[in-house]
Amino acid sequence: MAVASAVRAAGRRSRRLFDIFVAEVPWTVSSKELKEYFSQFGSVQRCQLPFDRDTGFHKRYCWIKFSTSQEAQNVFQKDCHILEGAKLTLRPQSRRRRSQRK
């Protein structure tokens, strides 16, 4: 039980390290395809696409980490991001200081 809560806490901490949150990801898109798509804006260090254990499908959202903050800003210069006919919803991840944590 303690191990599971430690893993969840580590997951929450790691999400803060990402630059962009992406929602409305089509079911048919893989993390490799997301990484390839976003690499046109800069060097993608990591793409985290969580899966649902019960269904085996991903949860239709992901986090993207770029090498620099400027590369992350390049993504927001484009008005609309479409993958396999679906419009992605993007939001910058805010960097939280330790004093802001609960």
Q: What is the pLDDT along the chain (102 residues), one digit of tens a residue?
A: 555 555 455 555 444 578 999 999 999 999 999 999 999 999 999 999 999 999 999 999 999 999 999 999 999 999 999 999 999 999 998 765 454 455
Please indicate, yes or no, whether the overall pTM of this predicted structure exceeds 0.85: no
Other beta carbons within 10 Å of 80: 7
pLDDT at 75: 96
Nearest to 34 by CA among 11, 64, 59: 64
Ordered by where they begin, the domains of the chain are 19-92 (3.30.70.330)
Query: For residue 65, what are the contacts with CB-CB under 8 A and spacing of at least 6?
Result: 17, 18, 19, 44, 45, 46, 47, 48
Secondary structure (3-state) at 3: helix
Q: Round to whole Å and give the CA distance between 38 and 34.
A: 6
